[in-house]
Chain A
Amino acid sequence: MNSHEEDELQRLASEYVLGTLELAERLEVEQRLPLDAALRDAVDAWERRLHPLAALAPPETPSAQLWPRISASLFTPQAVRQAGGWQAWWNSLAFWRILAGGGLLASAALAVLVSVQLQAPAGPGYLVVLVAPQDKSPGWVVQAGGRGGKGRDLNLIPLGPTSVPQQKALQFWTKGKDWGAPVSLGLVKPGQSVKLPLDKLPPLQPDQLFEITLEPETGSPTGRPTGPVLYIGRAVKVM
């Protein structure tokens, strides 16, 4: 390793431990950690160096309900053994609290929690929560690659019903950072899951935009979104 690479490694490791990395870089480090021994050693060393600072936070007594909550989450059947997948974030209170707080990038929180809780080795995947632009209520989830072994599909999963006026349809789109225009992923039916083979799509990238718009019954006549955006979200890479 040359000195420039060593500096960059130290920067990443130290600022990861310190907490000053941006979300995307944090996720990147967490993804690399299981695979990159040099980075892991550097992070461990920084954790040891800075750990004494944790004593500066004044203690806070947890509420009486906290342990029963933890105990119920862990030691009731079902939720226990499936330490990953949908269960992990579905059960994550912090995630839902953030989501309820609203925000277009709720998907970031989702990815974070998933990446934290899924330590089992698995290929990289993407997750997106599509939310309504007005009230940020989540409507659909997109999951692609990653866990689940084969994982060569992109799944669009409804979280609830979507009402569609007569002679209108929902159209699913995606747009990468440098793409000139969104690409149609086809029409989708309200309340129904859709599975698309990943190899028929352009390669997914972090921050890739996904959205569902309201279009004429047979789809957008122009090949680009013409109607209002009903749900929108960005892809976040997860382990």
Chain B
Amino acid sequence: MPAQAAPYDYEAALRACARGEQQALHGLYQQEARYLLGVALRIVRQRALAEDVLHDAFLSIWRRAGSFDATRGTGKGWIYVVVRHQALNVARARAHEVSADEDSVETLLHQRQGHDAGDAYALQADMGRLHDCLGHLDDAKRNSILYAYVDGCSHSEIAQRLQAPLGTVKAWVKRGLAALRECMG
């Protein structure tokens, strides 16, 4: 049996970044970049753009490390927050750019990649309470939430994927989130 490596200390890495230790940021990158790039890529859907998101997010992490507050969440969570919101901002800004045609082509291509967020959910049982609470939602609400969070889908993209009216999708998302909050506390 190989010896168990000590778990990576995200909070310590952020504190070191805040002190200006460049090696700490590199360590964080080596530890987490492939997972973070995975998250960004699902949301922005283009590899070059996803790498740009990660580039900009690491700049933010370095500059804002001093503002990380361990009483409000974990270091790992904070890093994902920076990357996800950077990716979402780019995706939402870009939605204004891309013509409807181009967008639907991209959505189709994306769907054909096969990795559906809904399928991934079924395979992933180690999400603790969230998994149980998502399990209590009906498929439509659960998929709406997964498409939004994991794939960065807007309401209208979810409507397209689930072939449901926009207003219905908005209600699914809203009620699904309310039910999750109720369930998880």
Residue of B nearest to A19 (CB): B88
CA distance A40 to B92 in the complex (A): 21
* B81 contacts A by Cβ under 8 Å: yes
Per the bound structure, the CA–CA distance linking A55 and B80 in Å amounts to 10
Of chain A, the residue at the smallest CB distance from B51 is A66
Majority secondary structure of chain B interface residues (helix, strand, loop or mixed): helix
CB proximity to B under 8 Å, residues A140-186: none
Contact string, B63-75, partner A, CB cutoff 8 A, digits 1/0?
1100100001100
Are B55 and A73 in contact, CB atoms less than 8 angstroms apart?
yes
A-side interface residues, number (CB < 8 Å): 60
Partner of A116, one of B60, B126, B180: B60
Residue from B34, B124, B127 within 8 A of A61 (CB atoms): B34
Q: Are B124 and A54 in contact (CB under 8 A)?
A: no
User: Would A56 and B34 be within 8 Å (CB), given that A73-B59, A94-B90, A116-B89 are in contact?
Assistant: no
Contacts of A208 in B (CB 8 A): none
User: Given A53-B127, A117-B59, are A60 and B37 also a contact pair (CB < 8 Å)?
Assistant: yes
Can you report 17 A-B residue pairs in the complex whose CB atoms are below 8 A from each other?
A19-B149, A19-B152, A20-B154, A23-B89, A26-B89, A44-B72, A47-B73, A49-B130, A56-B124, A59-B35, A62-B51, A94-B52, A98-B94, A103-B96, A108-B93, A117-B56, A117-B60
Binding site for B on A (CB under 8 A): 10-11, 14-15, 18-23, 26, 30, 40, 44, 47-63, 66-67, 69-71, 73-75, 83, 91-94, 97-98, 101-106, 108-109, 112-113, 115-117, 119
Q: Which residues of B contact A (CB under 8 A)?
A: 22, 25-26, 29, 33-35, 37-39, 41-43, 47-56, 58-60, 62-64, 67, 72-73, 77, 80-81, 84-86, 88-98, 115, 117, 120-121, 124, 126-128, 130-131, 145-146, 148-150, 152-155, 158, 173-174, 177-178, 180-181, 184
Known: A74-B25, A109-B93. 16 other contacts (CB 8 A): A14-B177, A18-B173, A23-B96, A47-B81, A49-B181, A52-B131, A54-B150, A55-B124, A55-B127, A56-B120, A59-B35, A70-B59, A73-B55, A74-B58, A113-B90, A117-B59
